[in-house]
Amino acid sequence: GESVGLHLPTLSVQEGDNSIINCAYSNSASDYFIWYKQESGKGPQFIIDIRSNMDKRQGQRVTVLLNKTVKHLSLQIAATQPGDSAVYFCAEDLYNQGGKLIFGQGTELSVKP
Amino acid sequence: NAGVMQNPRHLVRRRGQEARLRCSPVKGHSHVYWYRQLPEEGLKFMVYLQKENIIDESGMPKERFSAEFPKEGPSILRIQQVVRGDSAAYFCASSPDRKSISEAFFGQGTRLTVV
């Protein structure tokens, strides 16, 4: 089975609120994690990444948190906007193999105006 | 400043026909990855190629599927004798080197429908 999975398949938030998307992984050897955003009919778009030697990384309006103790990853989006509506995937680079990523099933984020 | 270009965007094939999916990487990128996405699922790794070499094909079905990345021209994913279960979106990504996966860009995908 997949080593990366998501807790919730859908998430609906109000515009302006913060969003939190969760991801669980099962392999403690995973070294590198990426969050992708995929809009309908498009390819995945890189959002932010984090290595296993870090607990937190911030980007523009996004923060990724990594809890290695419970093998949990989360993506926080501040002040969610309608343009954030998409499916979000976490991906795992198992054994630091570079392009061979293991993707989770995805969470669909819906932003209500 | 073109990104990864995939064509065709949509492809319809009858069962038993061949499907050819093309991927032109970002200029200067010599590493190409193919992924398959079934409806409502995440992407599944298929194959990783470097110019003229297959580096990792552990995600490729053993039969009917093949991939190449010639010295000149795009990378090609070829599916022979397609079946209904091959219907999916096929994405290609490219990166400047193996470790720069964070710099990998995905194309818009080819949506294959087998009727």
In tens digits, chain B (115 residues) has pLDDT values of 468 999 999 999 999 999 999 999 999 889 999 999 988 788 999 999 999 899 999 999 999 999 999 999 999 999 999 999 999 999 999 988 776 676 678 999 999 999 9
Q: Strand A10-14 and strand B19-24: pairing?
A: unpaired
**Contact at 8 Å (CB) between B44 and B37?**
yes
**pLDDT at A68 > cutoff 80:** yes
Residue A84 — very low, low, confident or very high, per pLDDT cuts 50/70/90?
very high
Chain A / chain B CB contacts < 8 angstroms:
66
Output the pLDDT for position A83.
96
**Closest chain A residue to B97 measured between Cα atoms?**
A98
- Give the model confidence (pLDDT) of A16-57 as tens digits: 999 999 998 878 888 889 999 999 989 999 999 999 999 999
**Closest chain B residue to A10 measured between Cα atoms?**
B40
Residue A4 — very low, low, confident or very high, per pLDDT cuts 50/70/90?
low
Q: Is B106's Cβ below 8 Å from some Cβ in A?
A: yes
Choose among B4, B42, B45: nearest Cβ to A89.
B42
The stretch A50-79 carries a mean pLDDT of 95
**Closest chain A residue to B111 measured between Cα atoms?**
A41
How far is B70 from B23, CA to CA, in rounded Å?
11
**pLDDT at A1 > cutoff 50:** no
Choose among B43, B45, B56: nearest Cβ to A44.
B43
Output the pLDDT for position A95.
62
Residue A2 — very low, low, confident or very high, per pLDDT cuts 50/70/90?
very low
Q: Do B101 and A106 touch (CB under 8 A)?
A: no
DSSP A84: G
Output the pLDDT for position B34.
96
Alpha-helix runs per DSSP H in chain A: none
Q: Do A98 and B98 touch (CB under 8 A)?
A: yes
Residue A6 — very low, low, confident or very high, per pLDDT cuts 50/70/90?
very low
How far is A82 from A27, CA to CA, in rounded Å?
34
Q: Do A44 and B4 touch (CB under 8 A)?
A: no
